Structure 1
Amino acid sequence: MQAPPSPELDRVLDVLAGRPLVALTGAGLSTDSGIPDYRGPDSPLRRPMTYGEFVSGPAAQRRYWARSHVGWARMRRAAPNPGHLALTELERRGRLRGLITQNVDGLHEEAGSRALITLHGRIADVVCLFCKEITSRTVLQERFEEANPGFADAVGPEIETAPDGDAVLEQTDGFRLVACTRCDGPLKPDVVFFGENVPRDRVARAYAMVDALVPSGGALVVAGSSLTVMSGLRFVKHAAKHGVPVVIVNRGETRGDPHAVLRLHAGTSEVLSALAGATPEPAEDTPIPQWRDLAP
């Protein structure tokens, strides 16, 4: 996918030329894969369930899992788009030294990214709130189908898909929950809900990725995030404070705009593809930096 020529895109490519990069991605990167975002310019007002609501009891958990049961069947069919693939190519060519994502959809992993920190977890994993065992969302989907035969099929295609793998579904009272097979505890997607803290080790590893840009003259590229929540904005502030140039590519304003040296209102697929296309193949004897010790 090629972006139309523009002076703004040329400036982005000039500023980033030859620099090692770390990328911070948000929901706007996955909209080209058919997954809606929370705060895009055309997005409706959404109120996701908070952590406090979820742990309040079975009624809230039933509402969440019923919606998720319908939405997951759609979300797991999503495929990486050119933006995801461009980041993978930048990593392969040695330009992208690390990737921090706020997304939980797993599309970076599917695209082949390895130097990856999934800041908010993965919707494909499920955790028991009692024993903390991690299990597969695919397996849970099968258990929900057995406990609620025909529930997902009865929901018409006009039901809107919402971010993070759920659906805008009102009638959830009859949905039957299933519990942890190990301890019979309540199950929760292994993602960071609103009102819940990102694990400290992930935050520390993400800061380390940004800090490594300082001696190497690198830059931080924000792709598809409004930076509304501090979980992502803190890395932008940290980079700017330490002299690391920040370039933001997003449709719509972001809270990080005052800290950016360049701000491009454009689609992430086009811009990242242009950046990958402008990056030459490394020489055969060029060592490619590895960040496996920073990966989750």
Structure 2
Amino acid sequence: MTSDLEVPVRGDAALDQATDLLRGARVAVLTGAGVSTDSGIPDYRGEGAPVRTPMTFQAFLASEAARKRYWAGSHLGWRAFGAAQPNVGHRALALLEASGVVSGLVTQNVDGLHRRAGSRHVVELHGGMDRVLCLTCGQQFARQAVADRLAVLNPRIELEGEFAVNPDGDVDVDDAASLVVPDCTVCGGILKPDVVFFGEFVPPDVFESAASIVRRSDVLLVAGSSLVVNSGMRLIELARRRRMPIVVVNRGITRGDSRAAVKVDAGASETLAAFAAALAS
């Protein structure tokens, strides 16, 4: 089962120490954008990440023009974002869960790649781009179904070419005044991808599900997150208060480094593959 997970990892004391901490423990996992970069989805804050002003929930609600601009960019980005495939890091975590090492996984990513890789106990803190929600009646729709409707209503938007896809699955579009945005087929309300926009809060029940994974575990493994987003740091603080060892795997500095028992400064995919090779049976 592990043959396709054999990714070279430089040997160092931190990696060995982290592996020893995880061995025999119930491991809760928190992942960020760095886990999906090897799937072609860019990082928000890593080296070379573009500087951008994301759509806020307040702007989305207040302005039809903002909603049109967002949906135009999101629709173009969905073609590439939806086609992304799980990488070796996603598969390693699924294998660790199947082997009983990982007790549950919390992700800040909205790409759905953990689920597609085979992880079963997944809490998506910020939602999923493959779902669309009506803000009026709460009806959920498959993203592809909404994408198909949008393409029919706006045949000229199906343009050929390459687009720089942002980490949340959209591209930057300057002019979308003529776009026709699909509405809810149940009540005619405003549709929004089922993700937490900037300016929104993680729903309390979702955060509680994430916290319960941490509480039922012995070690918290953080992979590919700078921990700038407060929802991730709240889980770090929960683990710290419970005196749980914290392992951080990330290239570069994170907000959780001072709280980590071990910091592995390396790529997420290669390190998670090494953990799977050492721990999964």
C-alpha distance in 2 between matches for 1:171 and 1:252: 37
Report percent identity of matched pairs.
Answer: 46
Aligned to 2:45: 39
C-alpha distance in 1 between matches for 2:14 and 2:104: 25
CA RMSD of aligned residues (A): 1.2
Give, in angstroms, the shift of residue 258 of structure 1.
Answer: 1.6
Aligned to 1:222: 222
Question: Which SS does the other structure have where 1:167 is aligned?
Answer: coil
C-alpha distance in 1 between matches for 2:173 and 2:157: 12
CA deviation map 1:161-202 (0-9, x unaligned): 111110122232222211111111111001111111111111
Larger deviation, residues 270-279 vs 145-154 = 145-154
CA deviation map 1:24-83 (0-9, x unaligned): 001110000000111112212222111111111211100100000100011111000000
C-alpha distance in 2 between matches for 1:153 and 1:12: 47
From 97, 103, 124, the counterpart of 1:118 = 124
Query: Any conservation in 1 of the 2:30–2:107 contact (CA below 8 Å)?
Result: yes
Question: Which SS does the other structure have where 1:166 is aligned?
Answer: coil
Gaps of 5+ in 2: 1-6
Aligned to 1:177: 181
- Number of matched residues? 275
Aligned to 2:114: 108
Aligned to 1:96: 102
Question: Which SS does the other structure have where 1:165 is aligned?
Answer: coil
- Residue 137 (structure 1) aligned with residue 143 (structure 2): yes
Question: Which SS does the other structure have where 2:19 is aligned?
Answer: helix
C-alpha distance in 1 between matches for 2:109 and 2:211: 18
1:1-296 alignment, distance < 5 Å: 1-154=7-160, 156-157=161-162, 159-213=163-217, 218-281=218-281
Question: Which SS does the other structure have where 2:279 is aligned?
Answer: coil
C-alpha distance in 2 between matches for 1:68 and 1:44: 17
Larger deviation, residues 190-199 vs 39-48 = 39-48
Query: Any conservation in 2 of the 1:38–1:46 contact (CA below 8 Å)?
Result: no
C-alpha distance in 2 between matches for 1:260 and 1:152: 47
C-alpha distance in 1 between matches for 2:41 and 2:280: 31
Question: Which SS does the other structure have where 2:186 is aligned?
Answer: coil
Give, in angstroms, the shift of residue 280 of structure 1.
Answer: 4.4
CA deviation map 1:76-100 (0-9, x unaligned): 1100000000000000110000100
Gaps of 5+ in 1: 282-296
C-alpha distance in 2 between matches for 1:259 and 1:29: 21
C-alpha distance in 2 between matches for 1:173 and 1:7: 56
C-alpha distance in 2 between matches for 1:90 and 1:83: 11
Matching residue's letter, 1:162: N
Question: Which SS does the other structure have where 1:222 is aligned?
Answer: strand
Q: Are the structure 2 counterparts of residues 280 and 64 from structure 1 closer, same or farther at C-alpha, using a change threshold of 3 Å? A: closer
Question: Which SS does the other structure have where 2:183 is aligned?
Answer: coil
Query: Any conservation in 2 of the 1:41–1:251 contact (CA below 8 Å)?
Result: no
Give, in angstroms, the shift of residue 150 of structure 1.
Answer: 2.8
Q: Please give the TM-score of this superposition, normalised by the length of structure 2.
A: 0.95
Question: Which SS does the other structure have where 1:99 is aligned?
Answer: strand
C-alpha distance in 1 between matches for 2:52 and 2:228: 14
Matching residue's letter, 2:213: M
C-alpha distance in 2 between matches for 1:47 and 1:256: 25
C-alpha distance in 2 between matches for 1:207 and 1:142: 36
CA deviation map 1:198-240 (0-9, x unaligned): 1111111211111112xxxx21000011110111110011101
Question: Which SS does the other structure have where 1:41 is aligned?
Answer: coil
Question: Which SS does the other structure have where 1:278 is aligned?
Answer: helix
Query: Any conservation in 1 of the 2:135–2:191 contact (CA below 8 Å)?
Result: yes
